[in-house]
Chains A and B, each alone.
Chain A
Amino acid sequence: MNNESAADAAFDGNVMAGPLSEVFAVDITTAQGRCRGCGTTSVIATLRVYGPDPGLVGRCPGCDDVLVRIVRTPDAVWLDLAGLTSLRVAVPAGVAGVPASSGGDA
């Protein structure tokens, strides 16, 4: 966007940890998201987050596009990740899915 900002975000992405923990088993604030608009990769905790009401809006530090939106209604968490092309979530190596080295005997 080409407009100057009069005020910066009130929060960083750590403020999204609570509602995200209601949805995901891992801490998404430590994951790396890639912006669909400009390609910048950011740790979710470092996003510039506006809100908290009517919802949390996490914006790209590179281009200000919306990357993550979270609305907590009385009985649901609404989550929009459409501003991200990918979300990289680190997991312990070899614990699940494809083993680090395949034995070939299965």
Chain B
Amino acid sequence: MTVTRGFHGRRRDSDARLPPGQHLTPDFPVLSAGPTPLVPRDDWELIVATEDGTRHGWTWAELMALPSEDVTVDIHCVTSWSKLDTDWRGVSLDTVLADVDTAADFAMVHSHGGYTTNLPLEDLLDGRAWIAYEYDGDELAPEHGGPARLLVPHLYLWKSAKWVREIELMLDDAPGFWEQLGYHDYGDPWREQRYQGD
């Protein structure tokens, strides 16, 4: 299955695909808040924890056994670079969360290394978010979040947590690592929600 977001077009269409205040980059800059964790696939596990304490887990082999999707999306970093037509493979969060019973409205995503970021649960659903494990046809490199990262391309890229290990489902919102320190709680690039108050 191939899901393509945004406009298809030649270069002259790229301006229409750039959110306000963004510029195009041909590179894939690496932004890091700490040492790059090296997580062996044999040890890798994804946890979904619900508000009543129920924990659902997937090993790497179990994740690979789930139906995957190839997605081509534009990504937008809050530091003002955007990259168009990036190719990923991953498992939709719709698939991961299909059998998870929850009344939660929010999620806190936890990464190896201690990073966290918060999102409304609905932004992880309806074909808008993936657990991504390939980029541009290759295994996702550790500096870009491998073995697996969250991919939520309709929000600024700090929401697409690298080295994802747990999705904690919550009844109430709470701020994550950057959301505690001046960054916007939601982070919609099309509304230029970079900082609190934007």
Chain A interface (Cβ within 8 Å of chain B)? 1, 3-10, 50-51, 53-55, 57, 59, 64, 66, 69, 71, 73-74, 76, 78, 80
Known: A53-B79, A54-B31. A7 touches B36 (CB 8 A): yes
Q: Chain A contacts of B183 at CB under 8 A?
A: 54, 71
Known: A6-B38, A71-B178, A71-B181. A1 touches B114 (CB 8 A): yes
Q: Chain A contacts of B9 at CB under 8 A?
A: none
**Is B3's CB within 8 Å of the partner chain A?**
no
**Residue on A with the closest CB to B79?**
A53
Interface of B is mostly: loop
Contact B36–A5 (Cβ < 8 Å) = yes
- Bound together, the chains give a CA A69 to CA B34 distance in angstroms of 11
- Bound together, the chains give a CA A89 to CA B194 distance in angstroms of 34
Q: Out of A3, A4, A64, A71, which one reaches B182, CB within 8 Å?
A: A71
A19 → B minimal CB distance (Å): 12
Scan B12-48; emit 1 where CB is below 8 A from any A CB, else 0. Answer: 0000000000000000000111111111000000000
A61 → B minimal CB distance (Å): 12
The interface size of chain B toward A, counting residues with CB under 8 Å, comes to 25
**Is B113's CB within 8 Å of the partner chain A?**
yes
Total A-B Cβ pairs within 8 A: 72
**Is B78's CB within 8 Å of the partner chain A?**
yes
Q: Out of B37, B38, B114, B195, which one reaches A73, CB within 8 Å?
A: B195
Chain B interface (Cβ within 8 Å of chain A)? 31-39, 78-79, 112-114, 142-143, 158, 178, 180-183, 194-196
A51 → B minimal CB distance (Å): 7
Known: A3-B112, A54-B78, A54-B79. A8 touches B180 (CB 8 A): no
- Bound together, the chains give a CA A6 to CA B79 distance in angstroms of 23
A56 → B minimal CB distance (Å): 9
Q: Chain A contacts of B36 at CB under 8 A?
A: 5-7
Q: Chain B contacts of A8 at CB under 8 A?
A: 35
Contact A78–B181 (Cβ < 8 Å) = yes
Q: Chain A contacts of B195 at CB under 8 A?
A: 73-74
